Chain A
Amino acid sequence: MKTIQFNKLYKQFNIISLILILVSLILLLFKGLNYGVDFKGGTLIEIRVDQNSSKISSIRDSFNQMNLGDVSVKSFGNKTDFIVKFEKQNSNDPEFIDNIKKKLSSSIGNVDFRRVENVGPKVSAELLKSGIIAIGLSLAAMLLYIWIRFEWQFSLGAILALFHDVILTLGLFSLFSLEINLSIVAAVLTIVGYSMNDTVVIFDRVRENLKKYSDIKIFELTNISINETLSRTIITSVTTLLALSSIYLFGGEILKGFSLAMILGVIFGTYSSIYIANPILVFLKVSQRTIVKEEKD
């Protein structure tokens, strides 16, 4: 197979990555994330109405009359399905949802409440906290694992690649105002696992090649390693993306955000294993001595 000169573009792609990370961070800081009810608190109702009976505007109107705070109504997959979200939740009134149902039925006719999620402010704050802890913890655990398995230069490269993937995925979610809920946290954690997986495969090869060749510079060596593992990288990305696209297209509306986050994560993860993790090794001047010294210790 022809060798592709990945290393020729290290600099260019690093600059692009840096810009993208900066843009993502700015987006996260100033635009913020669009938190769903899991993290913001409030109520989400998925409703199904009779065919042809209701337009989105009339549903929006009838909800606006109920004094529920900020109401958003979006169609959800089918023509008859809608997602309604609002700030208010039923702290002390157990008949809160029932009342909404009654009012809605009287104004737009037969309505089926397919799903109700109602999260109080205390719970949403806790969920957000535990979500952040979970992501932080997984990054720390990966760092620890890779530190045990590899030399510190490798762990730094792998972790930076992980940060890159997580920040860029969240940045895109911020850019397109996609909803962040519990399943997105799960997706991010899986991305962390996948991206690490991808990086480890290339790093394993880099280390093996470092032992094998003492006269090849790390700049070349990373390129050789990337090429040697390239067909695996591509095949695994393709099969994973095939599975994820299938979830995205056919798995129903509820899994859309989840699978989209993972599709993005897999693409970023594959990219970063090549263009973030490896240049770091070059930058840190990893050589045969790096691993030989470690092994003597």
Chain B
Amino acid sequence: MLYFSKLRVISVLIFTLFISYFAASNFFKFDDNYFSKNIKLGLDLQGGSYLLLEIDNSPVITQKLQSKLIELKRFFKEKKYVLKNFSINQNSIIFETNENDVEEVKKILDEDESEINPYFQQYKSHQFDFTEDKNIFKLTLSNYGLVLLKNSSLDQAIEIVRRRVDEVGTNEPTILKKGNDRILVELPGLDDPERIKTLLGKTANLTFQFIVQNISQESFGTEKLKFENEIGSSIDTEEAIVSKRIILSGDNLIDAKPTMDTQTNETVVTFSLDRVGAKKFGKATSSGVGKRLAIVLDGKIISAPTVREPILGGSGQISGNFTFQSATDLALLLRSGALPAPLSIIEERSVGPDLGQDSIDAGIFSLIIGFVLVVLFMIYKYKIFGLIANLALVSNLFLLVGILTIFEATLTLPGIAGIILTVGMAVDANVLIFERIKEEVKNEKNYIIAFDTGYTKSRTTILDANITTLIAAFILFFMGSGPIKGFSVTLGIGILTTLFSVYFIARLFTAFFVIKNKNKEKLI
């Protein structure tokens, strides 16, 4: 075990220096383009926000059921079947047929190639499962259909979230899908997460609906909506009855921006519409001169101006006692589009930048103290071999930081703790070896043989002992999240670099030393 070929010595040295170079590149600016890598600091060290958003898909599902219901009605009407008593109840569509038609309706619903199952050709699976009880049918979204529906709504939502985050302009946000109804957002370096939280919390569903004076005249049905805050204070009631007919929705918007209305000196949001939207808007405003048009955002009326003349140009403005900030935010929301379903923040972790810096300082300080204590203890215990073990420890640290850099791993506060712990535990392997050698030296007068056996005999123990810790690190990596993951990474890589530094670096120096001093008394 003590023999090293020249080639081996050189390759160990080159490897160590190569990795150490990466470690050093974190602290010194090297002018090269090839290896411009850095350890990423976790949110707990550089400050920033971690948000976990959950999408509430129930409106998407209801919408899907409603459109399916209309489709079914139309389809069976064409085929001249009588379907009646349609209703939507707890995520399923219920309807009745004539008793004689049951079998045939069943057949149509079951048929793979049927027009009513357009979904099948694409996915080879039904979107809806159905059950029937006499003549009452019940259609429920199939598991697969539900997953696809959720996925597509999540994909849409993630796109909108990304647009909104990008519009605010944070550096390097991470936006990821998690499961089929969650979105993970990481915003490093963000000082104040409140604005983004407010923006992400809004569905931003914009609609234009007429306010109705006489309910009985309205064929589309009506709903009662509240005014946003005290904005509608000029109106005597805080609620208004609006038609369910949607003149125009946010989908038709192509741009929105905050501007100053020069006449009223108010901040307003001006918007422009696409061609379809402009046409619709023109038509509705032409027929609705004199009526009040409610601008509804997420179920609340922002304002309800009276239509004075037809608006044909495809652009308009929304007023509503905005501050410049709130107008900017509304414009941003309208530009980035509406979420398919509301999102709620189910987990938030934010760290201010100064706490992050404090954590780095404390982490590095305790690393230095821990390191110095261990180094002194090893010298006290093993003298010259303590020095060798310490040399291995230093290179171990360089290797660990270097490998973290190469993989651009994220360093977290627990990760720093993992490095310190590695310092404490790394000497274990050398201790095992040295203790074994001490035992061997008692019976073997030839130092070279004694050292050699010491290394050989302690090897399985060292492997066993390190594999157990490696197992723990692996499990942490797969089960843990965020900062804890950072701990498992440094702990795990720390074990590998420890083994390398012990078996290649420390052994190399031990070998040199022993071969040179093989005739000395009391070597260890």
Contact = CB atoms under 8 A, between A and B. Distances in A.
Given A247-B417, A251-B366, A94 B198 contact: yes
B160 interface: no
Contacts of B475: 134, 137-138, 141, 189
A130 interface: yes
B349 A117 contact: yes
Interface size class of A (residues with CB under 8 A): 35 or more
B129 to A, nearest CB: 27
Chain A binding site: helix, strand, loop or mixed by DSSP?
helix
A70 interface: no
Contact of A246 (B373, B461, B466): B373
A244 interface: yes
Interface in A142-201: 142, 145-146, 149, 182-183, 185-186, 189-190, 192-194, 196-198, 200-201
Nearest to A228: B439
Interface stretch (A19-27, A108-116, A287-295): A108-116
A255 B435 contact: no
A228 B436 CA distance: 9
B194 A97 contact: yes
B359 A254 contact: yes
B420 interface: yes
Contact of A250 (B198, B366, B479, B488): B366
A92 B344 contact: yes
Interface size class of B (residues with CB under 8 A): 35 or more
B385 to A, nearest CB: 12
Contacts of A131: 479
Given A141-B475, A185-B484, A193-B471, A236 B345 contact: no
Interface stretch (B111-119, B132-140, B269-277, B421-429): B421-429
B502 to A, nearest CB: 13
B254 interface: no
Contacts, number: 224
A254 B346 contact: no
A128 interface: no
A119 interface: yes
Contact of B424 (A92, A112, A239, A258): A239
B67 to A, nearest CB: 27
Nearest to B374: A239
A204 B461 contact: yes
Given A145-B468, A232-B431, A243-B374, A116 B362 contact: no
Nearest to A127: B481
B468 A252 contact: no
Contacts of B480: 134, 182, 185-186
A95 interface: yes
Interface in B404-438: 413-414, 416-417, 420-421, 423-425, 427-428, 431-432, 435
A201 B54 CA distance: 47
B442 to A, nearest CB: 11
Interface of B: 44, 52, 54, 193-194, 197-198, 200-201, 344-352, 354-355, 358-359, 362-363, 365-367, 369-370, 373-374, 377-378, 381, 413-414, 416-417, 420-421, 423-425, 427-428, 431-432, 435, 439, 460-461, 464-473, 475-476, 479-481, 483-484, 487-488, 491
Interface of A: 46, 90-95, 97-98, 112-120, 122-123, 127, 130-131, 133-134, 137-138, 141-142, 145-146, 149, 182-183, 185-186, 189-190, 192-194, 196-198, 200-201, 204-205, 228-229, 231-232, 235-236, 238-247, 249-252, 254-255, 258-259, 262
Given A146-B468, A246-B420, A259-B417, 6 more contacts: A91-B346, A112-B352, A118-B345, A194-B469, A235-B377, A242-B373
21 contacts: A91-B346, A95-B197, A95-B198, A113-B350, A114-B354, A123-B347, A142-B468, A145-B468, A145-B471, A182-B481, A185-B480, A186-B414, A189-B472, A200-B468, A201-B461, A232-B431, A236-B427, A239-B374, A244-B420, A250-B369, A259-B417
